[in-house]
Amino acid sequence: MVCIRGVATSVPFNWTLFHPLRPRRSRSGCPFCTLLSVWQIDFMMSDVLCIGATGMLAGCVRALIARGDRIDCIARTLVGLEELKQTISTSDRTRLCTHSCDYRDLEKFEETLSSLSFQPSAAICWVHSPAEQVLDRIRHRFPDIDLLQVVGSSARLVGVCSTPANRIVRLGYGLAGDQSRWLTHDEISRGVYDAFVSGDMFSQVGTIKTL
């Protein structure tokens, strides 16, 4: 009964369930709970290409790795990529492959896409505007990819991307009393993770309306 409830309550995604700090084994010690959560993790596992994810989206990368995904991460600076690696446990680190590349250099970007450690089934892309050329290259190389584009609150959603099949998660603001504030990196990472696993075509993190 406990096991069945465990599955039922976990299917709508619960961030804390896959938080990198959460112990992997069932707290109750029930072997079936442990087996079921492994089954759930396998079911949800993906090979994910993450672009621009060494900053505010680093927590999102950690959460994906914690649930068993393999990640290819692209950013420019080796230091940033290395710092992200260091935040991941040694045993999980083999599932993170990093690539130093400026996505504005489209030729180098193409080369990097062809050198990924796996064929990604999904992508999370935080690409500063204009993003179309970068996203089009990804879509062209991996036509069936589940591509989630992260956009800022000021992005115009009409024509935000030339490929309508892409999913969008829009960053908004947090609210502190009657004031708006920037979202924290943790809020952004959680929101983008939730958007990714939800499968929704459009998601929003925080509120868009400014006060």
Ligand X SMILES: NC(=O)c1ccc[n+]([C@@H]2O[C@H](COP(=O)([O-])OP(=O)(O)OC[C@H]3O[C@@H](n4cnc5c(N)ncnc54)[C@H](OP(=O)(O)O)[C@@H]3O)[C@@H](O)[C@H]2O)c1
**112 near ligand X, rule: CB under 6 A:** no
- Pick the stretch among 8-16, 115-123, 135-143, 180-188 that binds ligand X (CB under 6 A): 180-188
Closest approach of ligand X to the CB of residue 185, in Å:
6
What residues numbered 68-97 form the site for ligand X, per CB under 6 A? 74-77, 80
Three-state SS for the chain is CHHHHHHHHHCCCCHHHHCCCCCCCCCCCCHHHHHHHHHHHHHHCCEEEEECCCCCCHHHHHHHHHCCCEEEEEECCHHHHHHHHHCCCCCCHHHEEEEECCCCCHHHHHHHHHCCCCCCCEEEECCCCCCHHHHHHHHHHCCCCEEEEEECCCCCCCCCCCCCCCEEEEECEEEECCEEECCCHHHHHHHHHHHHHHCCCEEEECECCCC
**37 near ligand X, rule: CB under 6 A:** no
Q: Quick one: angle between helices 58-66 and 185-198, nearest 10?
A: 50
- Pick the stretch among 18-26, 40-48, 102-110, 192-200 that binds ligand X (CB under 6 A): 102-110
**42 near ligand X, rule: CB under 6 A:** no
Q: Which residue is nearest to ligand X (CB)?
A: 55
- Pick the stretch among 27-35, 41-49, 50-58, 85-93 that binds ligand X (CB under 6 A): 50-58
Separation CA 132–CA 211 (nearest Å): 30
Closest approach of ligand X to the CB of residue 24, in Å:
28
Quick one: 33 or 150, whose CB is closer to ligand X? 150
Name the amino acid, one letter, at 108: K
Closest approach of ligand X to the CB of residue 188, in Å:
6
Closest approach of ligand X to the CB of residue 109, in Å:
8
Closest approach of ligand X to the CB of residue 14, in Å:
24
What residues numbered 154-173 form the site for ligand X, per CB under 6 A? 171-173
Question: Where on the chain is the footprint of ligand X (CB under 6 A)?
Answer: 52-57, 74-77, 80, 102-104, 126, 128, 152-153, 171-173, 182-183, 185
